[in-house]
Structure 1
Amino acid sequence: MASWSDKAAAKRAALAALIPSDLKIASPPGPEVLNVTGFPFDSILSPRDIEITETADVGVLLKKMSTGEWTATEVTSAYCKRALIAQQLVNCLTEILVDRAMARAKELDEHFKATGKTIGPLHGLPISLKDQLDLEGVELTMGYVGWIGNISKKNSVCAQLLLDQGAIFYLRTNVPQALMFGEADNNIFGRTSNPYNRDLTCGGSSGGEGALIGLKGSPLGVGSDLGGSIRIPAAFQGLYGLRPSYNRVPYCGATNSMLGQEAVPSVLGPLSSSINGLGIFMKAIADAQPWHHDPVALRLPWNEAAYNLADHGGENAQLCFAILWDDGVCAPMVPYARALKETKAALEAAGHKVIDWVPYESARGSKILIDIYNADGGEDIARARALSGEPKLGWSSVLDATPKHLSTYEYWQLCHQKTLFIKEHLDHWNATVAATGTGRPVDAIIAPASATVPSKHGYPAYIYYTGFCNLCDYTAAVFPVTAVDPSVDAKPAPHAFHSLVDKANYDSYEPEMYRDAPVSLQCIGRKNEEEAVIRMTEIVDAALKASRK
């Protein structure tokens, strides 16, 4: 029998063989070239390919196809080509489905030519998928060598609904082994790098999505988020991303780790090069009525009144944002303070109110979250690895963690602790009504997307800046603000630290090492506030852009 390493090597070779010779980079940039976002794609792609893939706005792409200015075939072809070049720069793909995608694009074009009408609101839009969304007849490994040869029998519900709305699937993207650490790295495909600085991580677990979209190889992708796995990759590549609340986007039929763990469920959501991509994705999914196809999907149609901030004073009301500067366990790296100050000034200049957010028992919340993740003592991952004998990867290996396998009673008690905590956190949020001056509690929290900017490969990052949203089921969106500039983001002098992880985070920051790394923030709303969070993120994004004119 072939060894696990031989099986992985064969899979990598098969993937590489799908890149046609005319798209292979003749002289790939060497390892000394860290920022590859300026790679001359026009040396391989046609002017039309460049025009299409440089159109970051998802709404513009859809409009051009709906009016017949661009065909689905040429848009899909352009993104396929750019994605295959991106693969050679940052190693972001796991499945290449060009033939399938082009056949689908041809069908859409024929329908449009015959009827003059589009098929759904996503007609012709190439959408990339994280390597856990099942597609009928396509292999899915989710980073496990033992799953090579695992062919999906049917489409996941989310994938099927996107197809019904006119989308085109053309590839899947890299993930961590088991999806359970924050860097796209596994024993089959290896590590994905950050296109802004290849010495740094792309994040995880939707890291392949982040790197691909960061190189404009996709206009919109679907990731999943259990502790920040959409938001962190989006943030680390300077993109937009949305963590919806539980079951707003159907998860049925998608593959996952720890199936049956429902105390803090993973959620599916979008990453995009444009902010309107978030709303376009969410509205298309809601309009497809996922509750008819997924037994736990919420019956929540798209709510235009909520998007127009009906619960936040109305479209033109003054909003009150609260800034989370430091959660009290791990202070964010210096560039985040600059990004937060810039955002505060921009919001105030736009007429909104900004106050400080007082974090609520972050150490306690973080422990509950991690204990839920580890409740099976690592058995789920161990069973999957045993299929091939592959070694364990990820931060738990680095930390030599040996989580305890909880009894049923212990797990029930942990879930009860979670319920008590999130009620207290809700009360804490509601109490801010005394400080806002609007007659409402804080409309949204503005927070760092992580304690670290895109970190060194293999570095065990602190995730509670995103993780508290998963624990409390808050809707949260990521938006880009700036990038690390060593000339202004100097390392501060040593000081008193909150914790060991705080000191480790401080010690790891070297400004020159992080040059050009994107710095992004979150706009965090309450449970099931997808429409309002998208609109408030648009408001924050517009304020930032206006402040730079």
Structure 2
Amino acid sequence: MSTWQEKAAAKRASLTALIPDAVKLPFLPSADVLDVSTYPLDSILSPLELEITETADVGVLLEKMSTGVWTATEVLLAYYKRALAAHQLVNCLTEIFIEQGLARAKELDEHFKKTGKTVGPLHGLPVSLKDQIDVKGVELTMGYVGWIGRVSEENSVCAQILLDQGAVIYVRTNIPQALMFGESVNNVFGTTSNPFNRNLTCGGSSGGEGALVAMKGSPIGVGSDLGGSVRIPAAFQGLYGLRPSYNRVPYCGSTNSMEGQEGIPSVLGPISSSVNGLKIFLKAMADAKPWLSDPVALRLPWNEDAYKLADHGGEGAKLCFAILWDDGNCKPMPPYIRALEQTKKALEAEGHTVIDWVPYESAAGWKIVSDIYNADGGQDISQDCALSGEPRMGWVLDENAKRLSTYEYWQVCRAKNAFIKKHLDHWNNTASSTGTGRPVDAYHRSWPHGKPQYIYYTGLSNLCDYSTGVFPVTACDPTVDVKLPAHEFRSDVDKMVYEQYDPEYFRGAPISLQCIGKKNEEEAVIRMTEIVDAAVKKSKA
């Protein structure tokens, strides 16, 4: 029998063989070229294909196809070629199934030609998927060598809805082993790099999606988020992302690690090149009534009143945002402090109120998150690694974690429920200081490869099930984001983050922030993310 290394090498070779000679890059940059986001592609893409893929606005792409300016086939081929280019530069793909995509695109074009009408609100939109969202007839390894050769028998509910709403799916993207850490590296496909600085990770666990969308190989991708896995890659690549609340987007039929763990469920959400992509995706999902296909999907149609901020003073009302400068357990790196300052000034310039958010027991919250992640003592990942004999990877899961008894796990979940109630009370009590009569209306960093990360800045939303958006603000500039003098460290992770920050090493890394709303406030969070994003952009004009 072949070794796990040989099986993995054969899988990688089969993926490389799917890249046609006409799409192979004429040269690959040397390792010291860190920013590959502007690699010239005119040798493999036509002027029209460059125009299509340079169109960052998802709404514009859809409008061009709905009016017949571009065909679905033209748009798909443009993004497919650019996706293959991205893979050669940052190693972001796991599966390429262009034949399925082309067949679907041609069906859409024939329908449009005959009727003059589109097939659904996503007509012709190329959508990439994280390597856990099942597509019928396509292999899915989820980064495990022992899973090589597994082929999905059915489309997941999410994939089927995307197709029914007119989207075209054509590639899947890289992830970390077990989906359980903020990198995208596994023993099958290797490491995906950040296209803006290849010294740095693209994030995880939806890191391949983040890198692909950043390289304009996809206008929108679907990832999953258990501790920040949509938001971290979106943030690290200067993109837009949305973590919906539990079961707002159908998960049924998608593969996952630690299946059956319901203390902090994973959720599916979009990573997009434009902020309106978040709304377009979620509305298309909600309008498809996913609760008819997924038994645990919430019966929540798209709520236009919520999008117009009916519970936050209404459209056009001045809002009150709170800024979390420091969660009390780990101090943010200097470029994030600068981004928060810029965002505060931008919001105040638009007439909004900005107050300081007082963190609530972050160390206790992070312990609950970690206890839930490690409750099985690593059994799930160990079993899947044992299929091939491959080594275990990552750092979020504790290799020495004790497997909890059923009763012990119940106590962790009990502590979680008590914590999220206290956190909600803490939020509601801000009503006395906002000046609006309401509680606060709404209230992250790139990393070197192979280094542990502190993820409670994102993990809080998973713990409390808060709807959360991500938006870009700036990039790391060593001339202004200088390393600060050492402060009194509050925790081991606080010391780790301080010591790992090197302004020059992080040069050019996108710097993004989160807009956090309450549970099931997806529509309002999307609108508030749009408001914050517009204010930040205006402040730079």
**TM-score, length-scaled by structure 1:** 0.98
Cα pair 1:12 1:188 within 8 Å, conserved: yes
Tell me whether 1:530 sits opposite 2:522 in the alignment: yes
CA–CA distance in 2 between the matches of 1:279 and 1:355?
A: 27
Which of the numbers 469, 492, 496 marks the counterpart of 2:461? Answer: 469
Tell me whether 1:256 sits opposite 2:256 in the alignment: yes
Identify the residue that residue 350 of structure 2 maps to in structure 1.
Answer: 350
The one-letter amino acid paired with 2:432 is A
Identify the residue that residue 498 of structure 2 maps to in structure 1.
Answer: 506
CA–CA distance in 1 between the matches of 2:464 and 2:339?
A: 25
Tell me whether 1:435 sits opposite 2:427 in the alignment: no
Identify the residue that residue 471 of structure 2 maps to in structure 1.
Answer: 479
CA–CA distance in 2 between the matches of 1:249 and 1:396?
A: 25
Residues 292-344 of structure 1: CA deviation (Å, up to 9, x unaligned): 00000000000000000000000011100000000000101000010000000
Cα pair 1:395 1:458 within 8 Å, conserved: no
CA–CA distance in 1 between the matches of 2:37 and 2:153?
A: 37
Cα pair 1:58 1:276 within 8 Å, conserved: yes
Identify the residue that residue 267 of structure 1 maps to in structure 2.
Answer: 267
- Runs of 5+ unmatched residues, structure 2: none
Cα pair 1:257 1:380 within 8 Å, conserved: yes
The one-letter amino acid paired with 1:174 is N
Cα pair 2:222 2:268 within 8 Å, conserved: yes
The secondary structure found in structure 1 opposite 2:80 is: helix
CA–CA distance in 2 between the matches of 1:232 and 1:337?
A: 17
Identify the residue that residue 422 of structure 2 maps to in structure 1.
Answer: 424
CA–CA distance in 2 between the matches of 1:333 and 1:537?
A: 22
CA–CA distance in 2 between the matches of 1:515 and 1:44?
A: 29
Structure 1 residue 43 displacement after superposition: 2.7
Identify the residue that residue 409 of structure 1 maps to in structure 2.
Answer: 407
Structure 1 residue 270 displacement after superposition: 0.2
Structure 1 residue 396 displacement after superposition: 5.2
The one-letter amino acid paired with 2:419 is F
Cα pair 2:182 2:453 within 8 Å, conserved: yes
Identify the residue that residue 302 of structure 1 maps to in structure 2.
Answer: 302
Identify the residue that residue 126 of structure 2 maps to in structure 1.
Answer: 126
Identify the residue that residue 187 of structure 2 maps to in structure 1.
Answer: 187
Cα pair 1:485 1:516 within 8 Å, conserved: yes
The secondary structure found in structure 2 opposite 1:478 is: strand
Structure 1 residue 493 displacement after superposition: 1.1
CA–CA distance in 2 between the matches of 1:73 and 1:542?
A: 33
CA–CA distance in 2 between the matches of 1:462 and 1:514?
A: 17
Residues 124-182 of structure 1: CA deviation (Å, up to 9, x unaligned): 00000000000111100000000001110100001101100000001000000010111
Identify the residue that residue 58 of structure 2 maps to in structure 1.
Answer: 58
Structure 1 residue 49 displacement after superposition: 0.6
Q: Runs ≥4 in structure 1, deviation > 6 angstroms?
A: none
Number of equivalent positions: 541
Structure 1 residue 100 displacement after superposition: 1.5
Identify the residue that residue 198 of structure 2 maps to in structure 1.
Answer: 198
Structure 1 residue 500 displacement after superposition: 1.6
Determine what percentage of the aligned residue pairs are the same residue: 72
Cα pair 2:143 2:187 within 8 Å, conserved: yes
Identify the residue that residue 369 of structure 1 maps to in structure 2.
Answer: 369
CA–CA distance in 2 between the matches of 1:231 and 1:190?
A: 22
Tell me whether 1:276 sits opposite 2:298 in the alignment: no
Structure 1 residue 401 displacement after superposition: 3.4
Cα pair 2:330 2:491 within 8 Å, conserved: yes
Tell me whether 1:47 sits opposite 2:18 in the alignment: no
Pair 548,15 (structure 1): closer, same or farther in 2 beyond 3 Å: same
Cα pair 2:245 2:520 within 8 Å, conserved: yes
Structure 1 residue 99 displacement after superposition: 1.6
Tell me whether 1:117 sits opposite 2:117 in the alignment: yes
The secondary structure found in structure 2 opposite 1:41 is: coil
Identify the residue that residue 228 of structure 1 maps to in structure 2.
Answer: 228
Identify the residue that residue 318 of structure 1 maps to in structure 2.
Answer: 318
CA–CA distance in 2 between the matches of 1:396 and 1:11?
A: 27
The one-letter amino acid paired with 2:352 is H
- Runs of 5+ unmatched residues, structure 1: none
CA–CA distance in 2 between the matches of 1:384 and 1:496?
A: 41
The one-letter amino acid paired with 2:390 is E
Structure 1 residue 66 displacement after superposition: 0.3
Question: Equivalent residues in 2 for 1:136-155 (5 A)?
Answer: 136-155=136-155
CA–CA distance in 2 between the matches of 1:502 and 1:92?
A: 31
Pair 396,470 (structure 1): closer, same or farther in 2 beyond 3 Å: closer
The one-letter amino acid paired with 1:433 is A
CA–CA distance in 2 between the matches of 1:395 and 1:376?
A: 15
Residues 215-249 of structure 1: CA deviation (Å, up to 9, x unaligned): 01100000000000000000000000000000000
Cα pair 2:92 2:208 within 8 Å, conserved: yes
The one-letter amino acid paired with 1:285 is M
Of 39-48 and 526-535, the range deviating more from structure 2: 39-48
**TM-score, length-scaled by structure 2:** 0.99
Cα pair 2:180 2:396 within 8 Å, conserved: no
Identify the residue that residue 512 of structure 2 maps to in structure 1.
Answer: 520
